[in-house]
Amino acid sequence: MLRVTRFSAFLFVLFSLFVPSPSHAQDNFSRFEIGAQYSIIRETNAALNGISFSGIGARFDCNLTRRLAFESQIDFFPENGVPLVHFQGGQTTQAVFGLRAKVIQTRRLSVFGLVRPGLLHFSAVQVLAPGSGNTYAQTPETYFVLNLGGGLEYYASPRWVLRVDIQGNPYRIPAFFSAGATLPGKINDTTRLSFGVAYRPGALIENEPEANVPGNWEFGPLFTSMTLARQGPADNVVTQPGVGGYFSYRFYGVFYADSDLLYFPTHPTLSGPQTGGTLLQGLFGLKGGIRRNHFGFFGKVRPGFDSFSAALTGITTGQSTPAFTYARSNNLVLDLGGIVEFYPSEHSTLRIEIGDTHLFYATRYVDVDGSTQPVYGGKMQHSIQLMLGYGWRF
């Protein structure tokens, strides 16, 4: 039974960087790769426990350089999963399109990271039937998914490639409204494991020379968009824009101390006990990867905080109009994902971050007409975050 997580994928990519890379890498590559794979996806059964389904699929890669490729993959899981309200059911199909980057490469092996947005389709999701009150129906649903992970390739020959990779799949489920009833939105997550083989057709291209990118210090502004589930009943899953900055320092080899500080000025109309008002986010941790020629690719593991300015703390109903009180709510987060950097000049950096920021809400207490009611933090929540930045490197 599959019990790996996306956190395992990032640790695999990051800590494999401790292994020294030989001076001679694989001699050549082709422009295209065509492959097939056997995959396992982790979903939920009727008892709300994890269950694994098997599937098959195909992959197509366009190798832009010896390390960086545009990759597309589609997988089909024919077994019927349990229809659960609003987030899974029936047969599963996933199609993703994005980047694969090799952070370590030798003649026979490479370690790579994956950042691939796409679509996750279920054939029979349980939803509220329109106009029927609390009656449920089954319908196909397609959700936006962000596929993040890493893996290992083995080069049996210049033409044939064997591969294994693990990924996480946070996907956005919007709120559903029907006949006056509301099913709140959320960010759900699945885990995948794939084993594949690929063939490289066409002419083999000799590897281009590589040069390290200079500079240990880097900083600059960031613009961000984060999709998360807020607790206001009228808001559910929202996408919020934000601004801030980042700082990065290379302290050892391929490892960098890396941090973001972001402010999200928009806020929902209603607050919950853990979320409410504007959001200040700080992330402080580690990124690890390579800088070669005009690009860099990194995995990131960064703990931090989400600080909401106006979470609900009290409700007084003994008046004609209910009164509410609010206070700041601070919560732990863990940011996992990838960073792609492009270097248009000697001292400048164009930075793209994509990740799943895990939210760990603390238990809060709400005073309801003088009676204190605990609101438990519950299980970990997910959010999907995209950041764009421009930095200076020296």
Per-residue pLDDT tens digits for 335-389: 999 999 999 998 999 999 999 999 999 889 999 998 999 988 877 889 999 999 9
Q: If you count them, how many residues does the chain have? A: 394
The domain 6-206: what is its CATH number? Answer: 2.40.160.20
- The mean pLDDT value of the chain amounts to 88
- pTM of the shown model: 0.86
**Spatial distance between the Cα atoms of 176 and 181, rounded to a whole number of angstroms:** 8
- Show Cβ contacts of residue 75 under 8 Å, excluding neighbours closer than 6 positions: 37, 39, 41, 55, 56, 57, 93, 94, 95, 192, 194
- Show Cβ contacts of residue 68 under 8 Å, excluding neighbours closer than 6 positions: 99, 100, 101, 102, 295, 297
Return the CATH fold of 217-393. Porin (2.40.160)
Contact 181, 132 (CB under 8 A): no
**Spatial distance between the Cα atoms of 336 and 349, rounded to a whole number of angstroms:** 21
**Which tokens sit at 324?**
């509410």
Per-residue pLDDT tens digits for 300-330: 999 999 999 999 999 998 777 888 999 999 9
Whether residue 46 has pLDDT greater than 90: no
Could you give the residue range(s) of every CATH 2.40.160.20 domain in the chain?
6-206, 217-393
- Show Cβ contacts of residue 74 under 8 Å, excluding neighbours closer than 6 positions: 57, 58, 93, 94, 95, 96
Kindly state the average pLDDT of the residues 288-298.
90
Per-residue pLDDT tens digits for 177-203: 665 666 778 899 999 999 999 999 999
**Spatial distance between the Cα atoms of 329 and 311, rounded to a whole number of angstroms:** 6
pLDDT at 282: 98
Beta bridge partners of 30: 204
**Spatial distance between the Cα atoms of 167 and 98, rounded to a whole number of angstroms:** 13
Q: Which DSSP letter does residue 6 get?
A: H
